[in-house]
Amino acid sequence: MDSNHEGLPGLEPQNQENDRAKINGRSANEEAWHATSAAADGNESGTIYSSAVSFEDLDISPKLQAELLQGLYVEMGFTKPSRIQAQTLPLILQHPYKSLIAQAHNGSGKTTCFALAMLSRVDASVNQPQALCLCPTRELVAQNVMVLEKMGKFTSIRTTSTIAVTPASASRQADPFVGP
């Protein structure tokens, strides 16, 4: 079995020539798998995943959709999803919920991705903790609280943290060259 395809049923090379034949930068077996998966999902783009052109395309909780979209557009200043948001939000907002590991550059909108997913799953009528975000640093806690508060501003969802976030600490967090 080819080590690149280990553990993936149906992707074992038939012979070495077939495995070396490249189609769109993929082996013939990989190309067949992608085409089959896309056809099964009704997706003609050649990928098994969909992406969002606008935030309205997302499967956001109907109870909170208008308020969360207002937070995204008015408070956060978004006009459309960034690349990482367009690719990951459809995956993490659709049922059944799945775990996701994604990587993107600083400032690309990763925090907005998981914050929107967290906020959209909260039942605003229940007055008890419903979501928990663990952060490795105080700075990241401050950033996440700021994003959650802005995005959730038009909802009745409350946010709290393990650190005291003040305007001064938030501005220091935004400028890494400012001392304590």
Model confidence pLDDT, tens digit, residues 108-164: 999 999 899 999 999 989 999 999 999 999 999 999 999 999 999 999 999 999 886
At residue 90, the pLDDT reads: 87
Number of Cβ within a 10 Å radius of residue 65: 15
Distance from C-alpha of 48 to C-alpha of 78, rounded to nearest angstrom: 27
What residue numbers bound the domain in which 13 lies?
A: 3-41
- The C-alpha angle with vertex 99 and arms to 97 and 100, in degrees rounded to 5, equals 120
Confidence of residue 68 (pLDDT cuts 50, 70, 90): very high
Note whether 32 and 107 are same-domain residues. Answer: no
Whole-angstrom CA distances from 167 to 74, 100, 122, 143 are 20, 32, 26, 12
Cβ neighbours of 154 (radius 10 Å): 17
pLDDT at residue 82 above 70? yes
Q: What is the mean pLDDT of residues 32-55?
A: 53
Distance CA 18, CA 27 (A): 7
Helix (H, G, I), strand (E, B) or coil at 26: strand
CA distance 112 to 126: 23
pLDDT at 149: 94
- Identify whether residues 123 and 34 lie together within a single domain: no
Look at the chain and count its residues: 180
Assess whether 60 and 27 both reside in one domain: no
| Residues 102 and 88: beta-carbon distance below 8 Å | yes
- Residue type (1 letter), 127: N
CB atoms within 10 A of CB 160: 9
Count of C-beta atoms within a 10 Å radius of residue 69: 19
Both 110 and 164 in one domain: the answer is yes
Same domain, 62 and 142: yes
Residues 30 and 60 in one domain: no
Distance CA 114, CA 148 (A): 10
What is the chain's mean pLDDT, rounded? Answer: 74
| 47 is a domain residue | no
Residue 162: what pLDDT?
A: 86
When pLDDT is cut at 50, 70 and 90, the band that residue 49 belongs to is: low
Residues 179, 57: Cα–Cα separation, whole Å:
42
Same domain as 77, residue 34: no
